[in-house]
């Protein structure tokens, strides 16, 4: 099989998975006419039609693309997204229909500063504040005033697409604006890992250490990808100590609380916990309206209030899904050169929300058991040990609340228990959720594993 054919097959398989993970609007808007240009030394070069798509995929879907390519091919370790003309017509995967080129959309805000990796598009002026993120926003404002003094490190966590990257990069851009002399640097934990491995292989670890110890503000995204990477974690631990001891500000983000990241060393968890840890939850209805309105107005598009309300009700997912729909509206508005009707908008967002993933009881038991590090067999046993009872109650609660399974069925599936026991367990979790923030965090983390 030729390399071109092999790359085509790899990309088709990856796209098939990506299509299941992103909304229809996002998939059709951003993944059309994309292809694998080449794979060399573990790096898959993804060709895209223009710089707008390149920067959007880099900022919004880099992790999704890389994860799925790694699942398809063991050869691929990282990706590079480049503007490239597809010379092989057979490689065009989706949406062969001719459309106006996205180059006509505004691109100036998408250029990354190569010195600090910060995207100038991520600023506080375009960050919509709501109940779901106001604490995280307040924490970043505090460190901007006194970097390295308060809330060091600052650790922000939340599910994918809730605006973490925007917020932490906005903090970096604002610190640069206030104090141009401060050296700020942003990167993902994956990039840090790759650089460290390359430094070891090239006997340049000393240069690697010197590079990262010179920064006044270090911003590291997606800490969860350090899971199980012992040597990289050790290097980050020593880097953290050096920066912290010299009052340098450190900002981290993750899709979950550091205490719940599997394969993360206790000494790193301890360092993360000595600062400020704050979460960003899913945006509420009013916040979704504000986000949609802000992003559309920024592109010169204003809609009636009933349309904003419809969009917010129809798209209950994360901010990334909202942005995907907004960009589709912007694109279609520019193509038609007029305001879209409510009928056209309804058609545009039809089927954009992903259906809830179906899951078996045994799959849920396995996920919860692994989360709490207990044996799956214990869940169905008659044991009343505390370390088993609470996970069992959480399973019952999720089956009832998220999947609407009947109380008798839940009892039957979990060791033949009476339905009254299930009712009591669900009520117990509901009651405890009102007073136990750590329980709420645990259930949110488990739910994120089900999507």
Residue 371 CB neighbour total at 10 angstroms: 16
Residues 168 and 80 reside in one and the same domain: no
Number of domains composing the chain: 4
Residues 269 and 186 reside in one and the same domain: yes
The residue out of 73, 92, 111 marking a domain boundary is: 92
Q: Tell whether 196 is covered by a domain.
A: yes
Q: What is the pLDDT of residues 48-106, one digit of tens each?
A: 988 778 878 887 888 889 999 988 888 898 898 998 866 554 433 333 333 333 333 44
Tell the residue number behind the tokens 């920066």, with chain if given: 243
> The dihedral of CA 269, 274, 275, 276: what is its sign?
positive
Q: Which domain CATH number covers 83?
A: 3.30.300.180
Of 92-101, 322-331, 353-362, which range is least confident?
A: 92-101
What's the CA gap between 30 and 53, in Å, rounded?
6
Q: Tell whether 246 is covered by a domain.
A: yes
Q: Tell whether 112 is covered by a domain.
A: no
Q: Tell whether 103 is covered by a domain.
A: no
Residues 214 and 319 reside in one and the same domain: no
Residues 243 and 382 reside in one and the same domain: no
Tell the residue number behind the tokens 């309206």, with chain if given: 289
Residues 382 and 389: beta-carbon distance below 8 Å: no
Residues 78 and 36 reside in one and the same domain: yes
Q: Which domain CATH number covers 431?
A: 1.10.1750.10
Q: What's the domain range around 311?
A: 302-348
Residues 252 and 310 reside in one and the same domain: no
Binned at pLDDT 50, 70 and 90, residue 352 comes out as very low
Residues 136 and 251 reside in one and the same domain: yes
Residues 249 and 172 reside in one and the same domain: yes
Q: Taking residues 159-187, what's their average pLDDT?
A: 92
Residues 16 and 80 reside in one and the same domain: yes
What's the CA gap between 143 and 175, in Å, rounded?
9
Q: Tell whether 231 is covered by a domain.
A: yes
Residues 30 and 56: beta-carbon distance below 8 Å: yes
What pLDDT is attached to residue 384?
85
What's the CA gap between 167 and 172, in Å, rounded?
9
What pLDDT is attached to residue 156?
96
346: which residues sit within 8 A by CB, 6+ positions away? 310
Q: What is the pLDDT of residues 7-40, one digit of tens each?
A: 888 998 899 889 888 877 678 778 888 999 888 8
Residues 182 and 188: beta-carbon distance below 8 Å: no
Residues 344 and 386 reside in one and the same domain: no
Q: What share of the chain is helix, strand, coil (3-state, %, to 5)?
A: 55, 10, 35
What's the CA gap between 256 and 42, in Å, rounded?
28
Residues 138 and 51 reside in one and the same domain: no
Tell the residue number behind the tokens 């360092």, with chain if given: 271
Residues 201 and 225 reside in one and the same domain: yes
The predicted model scores a pTM of 0.56
């Amino acid at each position: 099989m030729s390399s071109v054919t092999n790359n085509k097959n790899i990309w088709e398989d990856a796209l098939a998975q990506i299509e299941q993970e992103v909304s229809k609007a996002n998939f059709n808007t951003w993944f059309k006419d994309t292809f694998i240009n080449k794979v060399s030394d573990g790096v898959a070069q993804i060709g895209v039609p223009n710089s707008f798509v390149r920067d959007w995929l880099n900022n919004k879907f880099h992790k999704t693309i890389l994860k799925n390519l790694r699942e398809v091919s063991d050869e691929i370790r990282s990706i590079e997204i480049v503007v490239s003309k597809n010379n092989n017509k057979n490689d065009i995967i989706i949406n062969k229909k001719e459309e106006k080129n996205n180059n006509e959309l505004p691109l100036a805000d998408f250029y990354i500063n190569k010195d600090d990796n910060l995207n100038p598009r991520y600023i506080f002026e375009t960050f919509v504040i709501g109940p779901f993120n106001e604490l995280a926003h307040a924490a970043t404002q505090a460190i901007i005033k006194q970097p390295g003094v308060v809330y060091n490190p600052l650790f922000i966590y939340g599910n994918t697409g809730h605006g973490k990257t925007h917020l932490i990069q906005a903090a970096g851009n604002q610190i640069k604006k206030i104090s141009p002399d401060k050296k700020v640097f942003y990167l993902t934990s994956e990039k840090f890992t790759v650089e460290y491995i390359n430094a070891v292989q090239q006997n340049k670890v000393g240069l690697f250490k010197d590079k990262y110890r010179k920064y006044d503000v270090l911003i590291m995204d997606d800490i969860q990808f350090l899971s199980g990477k012992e040597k990289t974690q050790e290097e980050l631990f020593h880097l953290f100590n050096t920066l912290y001891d010299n009052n340098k500000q450190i900002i981290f983000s993750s899709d979950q609380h550091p205490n719940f990241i599997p394969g993360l060393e206790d000494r790193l968890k301890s360092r993360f916990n000595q600062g400020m840890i704050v979460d960003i939850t899913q945006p509420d209805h009013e916040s979704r309206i504000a986000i949609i309105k802000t992003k559309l107005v920024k592109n010169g598009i204003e809609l009636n209030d009933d349309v904003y309300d419809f969009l917010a009700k129809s798209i209950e997912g994360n901010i990334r899904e909202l942005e995907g729909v907004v960009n589709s509206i912007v694109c279609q508005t520019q193509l038609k050169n007029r305001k879209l009707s409510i009928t056209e908008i309804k058609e545009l967002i039809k089927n954009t929300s992903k259906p809830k993933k179906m899951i078996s009881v045994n799959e849920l038991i396995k996920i919860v058991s692994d989360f709490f590090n207990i044996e799956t067999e214990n869940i169905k046993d008659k044991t009343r040990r505390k370390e088993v009872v609470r996970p069992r109650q959480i399973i019952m609660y999720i089956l009832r609340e998220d999947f609407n399974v009947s109380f008798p069925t839940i009892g039957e599936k979990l060791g033949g228990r009476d339905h009254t026991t299930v009712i009591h367990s669900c009520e117990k979790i509901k009651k405890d959720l009102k007073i136990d923030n750590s329980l709420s965090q645990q259930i949110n983390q488990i739910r994120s594993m089900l999507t």
